[in-house]
A and B are shown apart, each in its own frame.
Chain A
């Protein structure tokens, strides 16, 4: 059933994001063409080299277009995260909440499927953001040899140490999943108190702030006083107690959200 839910959530996500992604791609392409055809001169290629080049002679239109381009890239990177949070709130108390809440599936699976799909959409959006920034730099630097080499070096390093890359990816994904689980738990808590935005938004934000402060305090305490085992993995230091705490937070938030959806949230 989890696979079915993931498919359903993927479809929902695609239908919601497709126009935003398409619009983003078209806009970036347009801005890239504009900068290159109207505002670009051969001297601008130096801006993107390691020593930075001479910035004084750059025209205002080029700077503005570049700022807009980079701003949009950052926006699309963050968009999927905030869209996921907004959508979860709507799924609990919006018009379609009836459909979501009456599906005969235990709630932790619903939450888990949303987390999985949101992680996928984060990968796509952040990937697009990085790709578009890389394209801007590459094209406007006239495919400067140093930049191309730098990018190739990065790729080579990742390929040469796959264990490190996989561990780093798993760690980052787990961090994102935990953030989603905690935020979803706070949203569910706020919606269990009231469906009215005036009440639920402050309650949600306050509970998130409390949660972060308490977790940070406990994590510091555990790492410093009761680490159980301190280790260094691929140059990164960590403690077993801190890792256990992260896992407890994730599963606690996931099942907490599920419990609130089953027993507290009303529509």
Chain B
């Protein structure tokens, strides 16, 4: 089943072109990496998928539905910044998600926060950056969404926590859906990726099956990334 179907997407912010005709298709059961340096348009593309921004041209369909409030039920999004209210406790965030998202699984969330060594009574404002990232990830992965979008889930997180987060992503993966993940830490995420898209100045420089790319080029994805973005 095709989860994401997009093509010819252009996005400008005033005169600056951020995305220049890109298109990404994702099938179910895949973990797809959207990789690129700062300013390449990764976050903008993710925002288009979540309906937080709108393309100037092109079409985006999630499970056959144009992006709108109906697709918000299909997409679980972890942004790259704090998105929870400081007054919340972990259990308040859980309550909000279980109230508004029909696909939110409380038991799965409890498992994930236990795995992440978080507690329901912790205050959001007292959490460190890494812990906030883990909480956001637990909320996002506890949904059985068709498309899970993770924007830089490893940013600002220590190496041990990164391992935990990658473990949680695999643990929480719903094979009927897909995960789209962005990261600049290619060497860390490459082992969980099925497909990759390398984005440069709003255009796709390279895309394909992760294993095939590694075999054809006889390099790790990290090395491919360095080669593509070297100049």
Q: Please report A residues at the B interface, Cβ cutoff 8 Å.
A: 4, 7-8, 11-12, 15-16, 95-99, 101-107, 262-264, 266-267
Is there an interface contact between B53 and A263, defined as CB atoms closer than 8 Å?
no
Complex Cα spacing A106 to B87, Å? 25
What A residues does B47 contact at CB under 8 A? 266-267
A103 touches B53 (CB 8 A): no
Docked pose: A101 CA to B101 CA in angstroms: 13
Q: How far is the CB of B108 from chain A (nearest CB, A)?
A: 18
Q: Are A104 and B83 in contact (CB under 8 A)?
A: no
**Mask: chain B, 42-65; 1 = CB below 8 Å from A; 0 = not:** 000001001111100000000000
Residue from B68, B83, B100 in contact with A98 in the complex, judged by beta carbons closer than 8 Å? B83
Contact with A along B165-178 (1 / 0, CB 8 A): 00000000000000
- For A7, give the chain B residue with the smallest CB separation: B99
Q: Which of B82, B84, B100 has the most CB of A within 10 A?
A: B100
> A98-B77, A266-B53 given as contacts; is B100 within 8 A of A105 (CB)?
yes
Given A98-B52, A101-B51, A102-B50, CB of A15 within 8 Å of CB of B87: yes
Take A101-B51, A102-B52, A266-B47 as given contacts and tell me if A96 and B85 are in contact as well, using a CB distance cutoff of 8 Å. yes
Additional 16 contacts, C-beta under 8 A, given A99-B96, A104-B72: A4-B100, A8-B96, A11-B92, A12-B85, A96-B84, A98-B52, A98-B77, A102-B77, A104-B70, A104-B73, A106-B69, A107-B69, A262-B69, A264-B54, A266-B47, A267-B47
| Complex interface: chain A residues within 8 A of B83 (CB) | 95-96, 98-99
**A59, B68: Cα distance in complex, Å:** 65
Smallest CB gap from A15: residue in B: B87
Q: Is the interface of A mostly helix, strand, loop or mixed?
A: helix
* Option from A4, A104, A105, A267 in Cβ contact (under 8 Å) with B53: A267
Shortest CB distance B69–A (Å): 5
Contact between A99 and B84, CB atoms less than 8 A apart: yes
Task: Determine the chain A residues whose CB is within 8 A of the CB of B72 once the complex forms.
Answer: 102-104
Is there an interface contact between A262 and B77, defined as CB atoms closer than 8 Å?
Answer: no
Shortest CB distance B205–A (Å): 26
Instruction: Say whether B38 faces chain A, with CB atoms less than 8 Å apart.
Output: no
Q: Decide if A102 touches B82 in the complex (CB within 8 Å).
A: no
30 residue pairs of the A-B complex, CB under 8 angstroms, read A4-B99, A8-B99, A12-B85, A15-B85, A16-B87, A95-B82, A96-B83, A96-B84, A98-B77, A98-B79, A98-B81, A98-B83, A102-B51, A102-B52, A102-B75, A103-B72, A103-B100, A104-B72, A104-B100, A105-B69, A105-B100, A107-B69, A262-B69, A263-B54, A264-B54, A266-B47, A266-B52, A266-B54, A267-B47, A267-B53
Interface positions of B (Cβ within 8 A of A): 47, 50-54, 68-70, 72-73, 75, 77, 79, 81-85, 87, 92, 96, 99-101
- Among the listed A8, A15, A97, A104, which residue makes an inter-chain contact with B101, where contact means beta carbons less than 8 Å apart? A104
Chain B contacts of A107 at CB under 8 A? 69
Nearest A residue to B93 via CB reads A99
- In the complex, what distance in Å separates the CA atom of A42 from the CA atom of B75? 69
Known: A105-B100, A267-B53. A262 touches B85 (CB 8 A): no
Residue of B nearest to A11 (CB): B92
* Inter-chain contact A267/B52, CB cutoff 8 Å: yes
Q: Give complex CA distance A98, B43 in Å.
A: 13
Closest A-chain residue to B85, C-beta based? A96
Q: How far is the CB of A124 from chain B (nearest CB, A)?
A: 18
Instruction: Report the separation of the CA atoms of residues A137 and B159 in the bound assembly, to the nearest whole angstrom.
Output: 64
Minimum CB–CB distance from A66 to chain B (whole Å) comes to: 34
Cβ contacts under 8 Å, B54 to chain A: 263-264, 266
Residue of A nearest to B100 (CB): A103
A103 to B70 Cα, complex, angstroms: 10
State in angstroms the CA–CA spacing of A12 and B85 once bound together: 9
Q: Provide the residues of chain B in CB contact with A96, threshold 8 Å.
A: 83-85
From B76, which residue of chain A is reached at the shortest CB distance? A102
Hey, which chain A residues are within 8 Å of B99, CB to CB? 4, 7-8
* Complex-state Cα separation, A249 to B23, whole angstroms: 42
Q: Taking the nearest CB of chain A, how far is it from the CB of B177, in angstroms?
A: 15
Contacts of B79 in A (CB 8 A): 98
Nearest CB to that of A258 among chain B residues? B69
Closest Cβ–Cβ distance, residue A125 to chain B (whole Å): 19
